[in-house]
Amino acid sequence: MSEPRKLYVKSFGCQMNVYDSRRMADTLAPQGYVEIAAADDADLVILNTCHIREKAAEKVYSELGRVRRLKEAAAADGRRVIVAVAGCVAQAEGEEIIRRAPAVDLVFGPQSYHRLPELLARAARAGKAVDTEFPIDDKFDHLAAPTWEATRARGVCAFVTVQEGCDRFCTFCVVPYTRGAEMSRPAAKIIAEIEHLAAAGVREITLIGQNVNAYHGAGPDGRPWSLARLLHRVAEIDRIARLRYTTSHPGDMGDELIAAHRDLPALMPQLHLPVQSGSDRILAAMNRRHTRADYLDIVRRLRAARSDLALTSDFIVGFPGETESDFAATLDLVEQVGFAGAFSFKYSPRPGTPGAEMADQVDEAAKAERLQRLQAAIDRASAAFNRRCLHRTLDVLFERAGRHGGQLVGRSPYLQPVQVAAPAALIGEIVPVTISEIASNSLFGTLAANAARDMARHVERPFVGAGA
Ligand code: SAM
Ligand code: SF4
């Protein structure tokens, strides 16, 4: 029997890339590739890249410097290492990557990774291969499903891509160019994938997409299903106890989806709903096609449906033309909404997007200073949200062993990490935990009295993931 080949995949950027990286590893498993955790003795290194901000793209080139040295060291030992660049930088830069980093053998975009075995064979024959086409065939139809063992090793929470690409063309964003037009997977295929995950012990599913709430995949009757309808159907799958979805655009937050937050107990009271700015002038320049008032109205309707909803968001500071008073409107929105947390970024002009061509680019020093003020406001809001959880009893889904012996890490319904002294047998279980302490945004808790009693009766070892 031939030796297994070692595969190292490094993901940059969003959860969609993490999902894609796993599907690449699944596709290469039948070719004899086993995934390893470090690049050092890999035969194939794949960097699955992100192009959303300049910094993210530059990280790839610095990582390629490290990989080149590994490749040279392996060659000195008579071993060939294949280096591949996948994802959105690959899509945006194509052959340019090989010109800039000649150690790279293979470049392929997010729509081509089902062709990986064939591309590798091509790179082995011809030395180099580049594939940044948007093929008409659906890559999801050709990707191998993960093995039962691989699924179990990845833990009790899983991401499932249901939608890809975007037609909204926000003026700062590269996604419509790198991921292409919006495409929704048929509901039956998503359901089959989740049933497979559930059978291997997965308890929580996050449906993901660049604009996930625009989901409109074909239902089993051939008619389009909304995300709300899909969520209701996924909630019926045995053993799936928790559902989430990300990332959503406010413009696609319809009544049916808002009602699902009221009607579907499995749908966790947590939502990531990027707003980007609190200023109508900037929202219009960003082509967001919603106003500050629209956003606040959605928040009001969501909270009417689910009063304890934990809302998180994304913000961009220093978009072209942003004045101090536009920025003050953003700070004011943060105060008004009371976010449980948020990501905030300095605007990064991306080649080929309208924002990069706009006059009135904001200088870096102003962006940095605004970012600091915004982050301080977000930290205050997030600390206030966490404080409200102190001494409450929350259901925690235990995911993995903690850093200290005898400790497990899980997530509250609001997606907060919670650390608890508890036995590994509880991984995969949802257990009431009383929050006893909050330190630097981490929650600590103790098993609630009834959980401790049930645990004493717990004989089975239900799920032990890789981290256990
Ligand atoms: N689809 C989501 C939405 O409608 O907001 C966003 C997806 S994007 C992958 C994730 C986040 O990256 C965005 O919400 C935005 O805050 C940030 N982002 C995107 N392009 C950016 C840019 N050019 N500069 C800075 N941040 C950017
Ligand atoms: Fe990018 Fe999201 Fe706007 Fe689509 S909706 S263009 S993914 S920011």
Q: Does position 461 have pLDDT exceeding 80, yes or no?
A: no
Q: What is the distance in A from the centroid of ligand 1 to the CA of 13? A: 11
Q: What is the Cα–Cα distance from 212 to 260, expressed in whole angstroms?
A: 15
The answer, yes or no, to whether any atom of ligand 1 lies below 6 A from the CB of 276, is yes
Position 332 confidence tier, pLDDT thresholds 50, 70, 90: very high
Cβ proximity of 340 and 295 under 8 Å: no
The answer, yes or no, to whether any atom of ligand 2 lies below 6 A from the CB of 272, is no
- Cα distances from 307 to residues 125, 163, 228, 249, 333, in angstroms, run 60, 28, 19, 21, 19
Atom of ligand 2 nearest to the CA of 276: 8
The answer, yes or no, to whether any atom of ligand 1 lies below 6 A from the CB of 362, is no
The segment with the largest mean pLDDT, out of 12-21, 153-162, 302-311, is 302-311
**What's the pLDDT at 341?**
97
Instruction: Name the residue of 51, 314, 361 to mutate for ligand 1: max ligand atoms within 8 A of Cβ.
Output: 314
Q: What is the distance in A from the centroid of ligand 1 to the CA of 181? A: 17
CA angle 221, 225, 230 (to 5 degrees): 110
The answer, yes or no, to whether any atom of ligand 1 lies below 6 A from the CB of 247, is yes
Q: Does position 466 have pLDDT exceeding 50, yes or no?
A: no
The answer, yes or no, to whether any atom of ligand 1 lies below 6 A from the CB of 228, is no
Q: List, in order, residues 6 or more apart from 388 with CB less than 8 Å away.
A: none
Position 272 confidence tier, pLDDT thresholds 50, 70, 90: very high
Q: Which residue has the higher pLDDT, 396 or 113?
A: 396
Q: Does position 169 have pLDDT exceeding 50, yes or no?
A: yes
Atom of ligand 2 nearest to the CA of 167: 4
Where b means 16+ CB within 10 Å and e means fewer, 109-139 reads bbbbbbbbeebbebbeeeeebbbbeeeeeeb
What pTM does this model have?
0.93
pLDDT digits (tens, 9 = 90+) for 47-61: 999 999 988 888 899
Q: Which residue has the tokens 């960003």?
A: 286
Q: What is the Cα–Cα distance from 464 to 423, expressed in whole angstroms?
A: 11
Average pLDDT, the chain: 92
Nearest CA residue ID for atom 4, ligand 1: 249
Ligand minimally distant from the alpha carbon of residue 248: 1
Atom of ligand 1 nearest to the CA of 249: 4
pLDDT digits (tens, 9 = 90+) for 114-140: 889 999 998 888 788 898 887 666 777
The answer, yes or no, to whether any atom of ligand 2 lies below 6 A from the CB of 210, is yes
Q: List, in order, residues 6 or more apart from 64 with CB less than 8 Å away.
A: 47, 83, 85, 101, 103, 104
Least confident interval from 110-124, 136-150, 367-381? 136-150
Q: Which residue has the tokens 């990845």?
A: 154
The answer, yes or no, to whether any atom of ligand 2 lies below 6 A from the CB of 169, is yes
